[in-house]
Amino acid sequence: MLNTSSGNTHFTEVDLDFLIGEAAPQASNKVRLRQMILEEQEFRQAIVGDERVFQRVISDAEVMVKLSPALYFEILLRKASKELDLSAYTVERIGKETIPVFDTSGVTELMGQPRVLEYLAQMLASFTVIESQVRRVRVRRGIWRRIRHNDMDIDSLVQLCSAADEENRLGYYKRIADVCLFVSSVFQEHSYFGQGGGQSTFPASRRMRRSMEDYEWEGKRFYSLAESHPAARLAGLSDIFGVLREQFIYARKPLRFIASQYLHSSRANLFGSPPQ
């Protein structure tokens, strides 16, 4: 949960073999191709975004057990980015209706910013394994409380964050913001969304049904807190957090796109059930 890496995906040996085997099967110097994928951003984008790579991934039901989750989601996101760039509009759900929104230029600009797409791929990958445990949290001197922690549960994350020292809060800020972005995009149609509050602070004392506006407001707030944290600058994440804070709504669009167009029935297998 507390991963604060810079957003650069570290491909496995299997990942690299897969990419080269699909995109450049006749290449004579595959060692050099491996180096180029790892070291040259434009070449990496071209290989991961190759149509042959995408077609293999989308047609292979067992691909997730072969590839790292981060590569799997990066392949889907690069395809989604291309599709949205060619589209005149995205689709927003308002109640039970869907309406076109002519904002694809903003989505394209967002996805073209350095390391944003890779960050989103790693974020999606982080939700394929959910940690749950019980922690003892100091309430005040001599008084401790046991908190059941689940890193998809915003209430318990906020409790743990409030009890942590400031220097250790970046991971919580990041995770809470990521949960807000993930839930309001990948599970946007789920019935647990409430009817609005707009500017909740996710009180730890009670659970609540959160509206889409709640998730948006709190996602932006926690990305802002993460952006300004000193450790974010050291990890090279401040700029990414700032972009996601400013363009939270745009960031939901490619995530919604892959959830509706590519994941379908596999969504529950990948992520389990959404939080209640």
Regarding predicted confidence, which is higher, 88 or 45?
Answer: 45
- Which pLDDT score is estimated for 126? 93
Region 13-39: what's the mean pLDDT? Answer: 94
pLDDT per position as a tens digit, 242-263: 999 999 999 999 999 999 899 8
CA distance 157 to 244: 20
**What is the average pLDDT across 3-9?**
60
> What pLDDT does 151 receive?
81
Question: How large is the average pLDDT for residues 40-66?
Answer: 92
With cut-offs at 50, 70 and 90, classify the pLDDT of residue 204: very low
**Residue 226 clears pLDDT 80, i.e. is over it:** yes
- Could you tell me the residue ranges of all domains in the chain? 13-118, 132-271
Quote the pLDDT of residue 135.
Answer: 61
Whole-angstrom CA distances from 149 to 114, 145, 204 are 33, 12, 12
Residues 45-63 as b/e (b if ≥16 CB within 10 A, e otherwise) read bebbbbeebbebbeeeeee
pLDDT-based confidence at residue 4 (cuts at 50, 70, 90) = low
Q: What is the 3-state secondary structure (H, E, C) of the chain?
A: CCCCCCCCCCCCHHHHHHHHHHHCCCCCCHHHHHHHHHHCHHHHHHHHCCHHHHHHHHHCCCHHHCCCHHHHHHHHHHHHHHHHHHCCCEEEEECCEEEEECCHHHHHHHHCCCCHHHHHHHHHHHCCCCCEEEEEEEEECCEEEEEEEECCCHHHHHHHHHHCCHHHCHHHHHHHHHHHHHHHHHCCCCCCCCCCCCCCCCCCCCCCCCCHHHHHHHHHHHHHHHHHCHHHHHCCCHHHHHHHHHCHHHHHHHHHHHHHHHHCCHHHHHHCCCCC
Query: What is the reported pLDDT for 200?
Result: 42
pLDDT value of position 98 = 74
Q: Which of 64, 67, 71, 65 is nearest to 45 (CA)?
A: 71
- Decide if 215 contacts 184 (C-beta within 8 A): yes
Q: What is the mean pLDDT of residues 68-87?
A: 95
How confident is the prediction for the chain on average, in pLDDT?
84
Cα 42 to Cα 226: distance, rounded to the nearest angstrom:
28
Residues recorded for the chain: 276
pLDDT of residue 169: 95
The pLDDT tens digits of the residues spanning 210-225 come to 888 999 999 999 999 9
Residue 231 predicted with pLDDT over 80: yes
Distance CA 120, CA 81 (A): 12
- Tell me how far apart the alpha carbons of residues 194 and 210 are, in angstroms, rounded to a whole number: 5
The answer to whether residue 235 scores a pLDDT higher than 90 is yes
- CA–CA distance, 249 with 81 (Å, rounded to integer): 15
> 191: pLDDT confidence band, cut at 50, 70 and 90?
very low
Q: What is the pLDDT of residues 132-189, one digit of tens each?
A: 656 665 656 666 666 666 788 898 888 888 888 999 999 999 999 999 999 999 987 6
Evaluate if residue 123 carries a pLDDT over 60.
Answer: yes
182 vs 186: CA distance, rounded Å: 6
β partners of residue 136 = 146
The single residue listed with the structure tokens 């691909």 is 63
Burial-class residue 95 by CB neighbours within 10 Å (0-12, 13-18, 19+).
exposed
The pLDDT-based confidence of 108 (bands split at 50, 70, 90) is very high
Task: Reply yes or no on whether the pLDDT at 198 is more than 60.
Answer: no
Whether pLDDT at 192 is above 70 = no
pLDDT at 276: 53
What is the radius of gyration, based on Cα positions, of the chain?
19
